[in-house]
Structure 1
Amino acid sequence: MKYPKLCPLTAAIVISGFSSFANAQLGQNLAVDIRSLSMGNAVTADPPGISAVHFNPAALAKIDGLQTDVQGILANFDIQREYSAPPGYNVFGYSDDPIVCNDGPEVSVGICTDFKGPVRGDVEYASLYVPILKKMVDLGAGYPLVAPTAGIAYKPPGSKVTYATAIYAPLVAGFGAENGNPSNYMGQQVAVERITYLSPSFGFQVNDHLSLGASFGMSYNAIALNTDLRFPNEMIGVLRMVDEVVCRPFKNNKEFFTDLILLGICNTQEGMNPFNKMGALQVSLEQSLSPSYNLGLLWEPTDDFSFGMVYQSSAKMRLKGKYLIDNAKAPQQLIAGLNSSTSGSIASAVLQLPGYIPNTESGLVAMDLEYPAHFQAGIKYKLLPDLQMNFDVGWTDYSAWDKFKFEFDRQISLLQVARILSNDVTPASLALPLKFTSPWSWGIGLEYSATDRLKLRAGYEPRASSIPNDKRNTMVPINNAQLFGLGVGYRFDADTDLDLSVGFLRSRDNIPACSSTLSNKCGVDNILLNPYAGLDVKTNTKVTVLGLSYRTKW
């Protein structure tokens, strides 16, 4: 059954472990301005009205008197995710992963005899994190979402300075799925938000050809994730083999000798299985005030040509929030079994394992996060009296996302175990190595003046991926992406403009088995956010954005 999918306030994903932050790449500039969307976001030399606060504040100097801008966006986000078992698939000899295997409990050999075809685990609805409620809200399958933005600008008579502020969303993204969805091990619910709620700005007219500008953004940030956990690596496969093969003769037959040799791990009611759910994690972090600034320059030597340039600063944040972990029975039983024997207790003490694993663990969590800096420059050129071309190049410093480190207020049982297999884990912290890169990208837009009142627009923006091949995953279902835009602008009178635009973004990705450490890496050290070890993974993402903008002067 195919579900209708929705995009969150504008769009896009996504992210991992908490790569969900990479939603910034997919969702960048999708919710800021409708006209810009239809021009492939190639508007640095031709910023639209008050949205220049974001794209190039120098262009605010072109506004006279009092102007307001109200926009609404309707978005749909379709994310398809697919899993399949390649030839020879197994985790330490076991291949009965219920995600890809049809075998029932009557087949007990651990080797799958009936593999499913490609299994779909699509996004089913949009999710948003609501600050007041401090929780994620599911919007429901098939329900449309409107995202409003607004701005106001004023230039006093005879002044060279225009003042402005705007409310907009540089990044809002989120999605969710029902229980049982195969993709829930990489985020059953995910929400990432950066909302600029106040942006005092100015544009200064230096002379007839040159303008400078700056804006100072005050933004709210939130990150939230609910995900199931499983760890299909070789070490868990070894523990399953010990439980099913070595321990079977000694089950319910506790003896000193077997306890001594087998460290007490046979004294468990439920053994470890690399394909079983090991727990669930809920975490949310936020920061109410995250300041940043934009600096812009606009040079217009003739009516046919202009050059624009903008620098959008990074924003360093200290996000704080809460976490809740539900632990499954199997890891609880493993630790209890170890500590039930003398030799197991000694081994547990040497390895600094926890004395027990509780049903739930909760507390406070924090992380340092840098919203990346962005630079963009472009030109506007009139090819014909009625045909204008815009072309921009841009760069975003995603290399600032080398790793994300979560710091907990106390030691966590599963992390005490996981640190044995990973250098990125301590009993009270978890670091997710991302190693993002900072590629350049470009965009092009055309605007045709059909009449004095009617304008037709088209744009194209190919977005190069910042995610390395060995870090791709289903929580950020993108590799390279393409954005297409179409729009119509109509001028009712000298003071009022109406814009209607539609944007379509698409991205497909193929993650071969064992190729990504944040998805399907094979081996012993793939303990973190690697729930599809050994499987082939494919994603197909489609984002459709429809928007309406109303601008008027007073």
Structure 2
Amino acid sequence: MSSKIQVLVQPGTIIIIQNNNYKVRLNMIYGKVRVLRNSHRAFKCIPWLLILFASTSTYAAFTDSLTVGNAKALGLGHAVTADPPGIDSIHFNPAGLTRLKGRQMHIKGVYGLFETNYDLGGYGEYQQGLIDELLEYQYPGSNGVIPPEAEAYFYDEALNSKSSVEGPTVMLPGGMIDIPFAGGVMGGASYSPPGSNMTFATNVYAPMMSGYNRAEDDPGRFFQERGAFTLLTYFSPSVGIEISDELQVGFALNFSYAGMGLELPAREPHLLLWQYGHPWFQDNFCNDDGTPTGTPDLNLCHIVSPYISYGDLRIEADQALVMSYNFGLLWSPEPWITFGLSYNSAVKNDLDGDWEFPIDPFFNQVLLDNMNGSLWPSFQALTGALGLPLPGVAETEAQGKGGKVNVQYELPQHASAGISIQITPKWKYNFDVKWTEWSVFSDIQINFDRDIAFLMLGSIADKLLYRGQNGIEPNGVRYQLNLQDVTYWGMGTEYQYNDKLAFRLGYENRPSAVPSETPNAFIPINDGILYSVGIAYEFESENTLDFSIGYMNSKSHYPPCSADLGNGCNPNNVAYGPYQGQDLRSEVSFLLFEVLYSRYF
């Protein structure tokens, strides 16, 4: 009997897979801890300009296959290129579809327990030196003890504190939403006509689904308070072709939704802010009442704490349809051994959405007080003649109102090669080598619908000091994330206890995409090992139930001033360093539960 398969996307994060006999309603609420992306250094003289868009999170560099949610693949350490797992062969190796006969469907559930914690420790020598210098100048003989009247200026809420993620966040067509748990349900269907050498299939799965949220008063929110990246494949017409008993090939075309969201409170305790608040300026340029003396057009009398949170960047952007494809082949020269190759194409995203950047009223006034003077228009005319426009009052006031944004980035291509050996009738061993081109994700282009004051200043610094290599323009910025390609491996073994019951063990080495020579404290997860166990049971009706558990833990340490993005101290190599000079430690762990039910219909 023929079967028409439809995949309908409805508002409210609901996916429906429908055919003539079944209608399966799949709630796509799904999330996981996300690690943070970094950015390239930006400028040398105006430290607070970079923070605008420096840290949405990477994330994905470490989520290869984890969010697809196939219990068999997890139980075998994702070493399934030569032993593809049912309908999810669409992702792992489409040639595996040829092993599915008749009409089949599967429903799979995923649930994760995730923890991301930071220890935000004490200051190192550099940062403590800045504090001691200021104290000694204004309070001689203080011996590093902050007097009560100076506590507000030196107060750092993140000093010797802890930060933890509260829960998962996902980006969906309606925007970012916080969800109570990291989990969800997905599914797919396949059909092979009687006597045919071809199998057709479609699947709903998440090549990437990562995001998290922190409390509004969490001291780690300057890494990111909320954020999410999504790539959700809602329709994947695929075909597997059995060329011979020894050789099979497969191809899948993926229709996906892509989205990203970010909410980032920003601060930057850079050397210039410390100098701006130095008492020397008050003594030489200010009256006792805090008004400027002699130079009313250059107001250096504001007392700006270096730990002030001066703005809150918010971006949400998405794309309803992005296209990609998967290709794979299987070769079995002997019945007991199979070789597999698989390729997942890159995914080019071109997202549209909205942005806001409300500025702290006090910090905004600091900027406006200088722009309202008679000297600023002269500076504007001079730099404008050189093709380097300075912002005015209008641009500074407008940047807090937001507007439209376009975000462009490429998710990397992925290739894998594997072998599956049936050692004995009961024992099977799989081994995979994989490669992901994360370096292409190092360029993220963000374009705004108008010039932004902070970017106008940043563009001047970039062009004068770095010949524009950081890609900063008055209305856009190109982030160079400095990720590297990764090659890694996994292996798994399966023991067929009897005709109905099988046990699985998996091990996967998952290296970091962040180069060791350029550490990035915004990405809390680095090198780690995924351990997994699984079980499979086949019922009398030839329907099967797979269940697996996976565990991974990753710890990182960033000594004071070691990570330019996070706690860097070099004033001539400014990246976003909200925790300048602090000792930072991170730990990420997760426990992943996956269940899959496959049946004929």
The TM-score with structure 2 as length reference comes to 0.83
In the alignment, which of 244, 249, 252 is matched to residue 287 of structure 2? 249
Alignment of 1:385-534 (within 5 A): 385-422=425-462, 423=468, 424=470, 425-469=472-516, 472-525=519-572, 527-534=574-581
Alignment of 1:107-506 (within 5 A): 107-108=149-150, 118-131=160-173, 133=174, 135-139=175-179, 143-241=180-278, 244-249=282-287, 251-255=289-293, 257-259=294-296, 263-266=298-301, 270-347=302-379, 350=382, 352-356=389-393, 357-358=396-397, 360-422=400-462, 423=468, 424=470, 425-469=472-516, 472-506=519-553
Change (3 A) 1:419 1:213: same
Q: Which residue of 1 aligns with 2:590?
A: 543
Please state whether the residue corresponding to 2:567 is helix, strand or coil.
coil
Change (3 A) 1:481 1:259: same
8 Å CA contact 1:11–1:27 kept in 2: the answer is no
Cα shift readout 1:462-501 (whole Å, capped 9, x = no counterpart) = 1111112365445431111211111110111252000111
Q: Which residue of 2 aligns with 1:27?
A: 63
Identity %: 29
The aligned amino acid for 1:298 is: L
Please state whether the residue corresponding to 2:451 is helix, strand or coil.
coil
- 2-side partners of 1:72 and 1:477: how far apart? 27
8 Å CA contact 1:127–1:190 kept in 2: the answer is yes
- 2-side partners of 1:249 and 1:454: how far apart? 84
- 2-side partners of 1:389 and 1:533: how far apart? 48
Cα shift readout 1:360-395 (whole Å, capped 9, x = no counterpart) = 231111122111000001000123321111000000
Deviates more, 1:475-484 or 1:10-19: 10-19
Equivalences, count: 532
- 2-side partners of 1:446 and 1:419: how far apart? 55
Q: 1:300 deviation in Å?
A: 1.6
- 2-side partners of 1:197 and 1:173: how far apart? 17
The TM-score with structure 1 as length reference comes to 0.89
Q: 1:522 deviation in Å?
A: 1.3
Please state whether the residue corresponding to 2:125 is helix, strand or coil.
coil
8 Å CA contact 1:469–1:515 kept in 2: the answer is no
8 Å CA contact 1:56–1:297 kept in 2: the answer is yes
- 2-side partners of 1:317 and 1:429: how far apart? 17
Structure 2: gaps of 5 or more residues: 1-28, 39-53, 135-143, 384-388, 463-467
In the alignment, which of 28, 32, 35 is matched to residue 11 of structure 1? 32
Deviates more, 1:309-318 or 1:332-341: 332-341
Give me the CA root mean square deviation.
2.7
Cα shift readout 1:86-137 (whole Å, capped 9, x = no counterpart) = 432428823799xxxx998825189969999742111111112231x2x222
- 2-side partners of 1:68 and 1:109: how far apart? 64
Change (3 A) 1:529 1:431: farther
Q: 1:396 deviation in Å?
A: 0.4
Q: Which residue of 2 aligns with 1:5?
A: none
Cα shift readout 1:239-259 (whole Å, capped 9, x = no counterpart) = 12265554453544455x233
- 1-side partners of 2:354 and 2:133: how far apart? 35
- 2-side partners of 1:511 and 1:288: how far apart? 39
- 2-side partners of 1:114 and 1:248: how far apart? 26
Please state whether the residue corresponding to 2:566 is helix, strand or coil.
coil
Q: 1:234 deviation in Å?
A: 1.4
Cα shift readout 1:426-473 (whole Å, capped 9, x = no counterpart) = 221123221111121000001111111111111010111111236544
8 Å CA contact 1:95–1:112 kept in 2: the answer is no
8 Å CA contact 2:120–2:158 kept in 1: the answer is no
Change (3 A) 1:105 1:67: farther
8 Å CA contact 2:73–2:79 kept in 1: the answer is yes
8 Å CA contact 1:20–1:476 kept in 2: the answer is no
Q: Which residue of 1 aligns with 2:45?
A: none
Q: 1:271 deviation in Å?
A: 3.3
8 Å CA contact 2:126–2:569 kept in 1: the answer is no
Q: Which residue of 1 aligns with 2:41?
A: none
8 Å CA contact 2:119–2:162 kept in 1: the answer is yes
Change (3 A) 1:116 1:415: closer
Q: 1:19 deviation in Å?
A: 5.9
- 2-side partners of 1:221 and 1:96: how far apart? 49
- 2-side partners of 1:364 and 1:516: how far apart? 32
Please state whether the residue corresponding to 2:272 is helix, strand or coil.
helix
Structure 1: gaps of 5 or more residues: 1-7
The aligned amino acid for 1:482 is: I
The aligned amino acid for 1:375 is: A
The aligned amino acid for 1:522 is: C
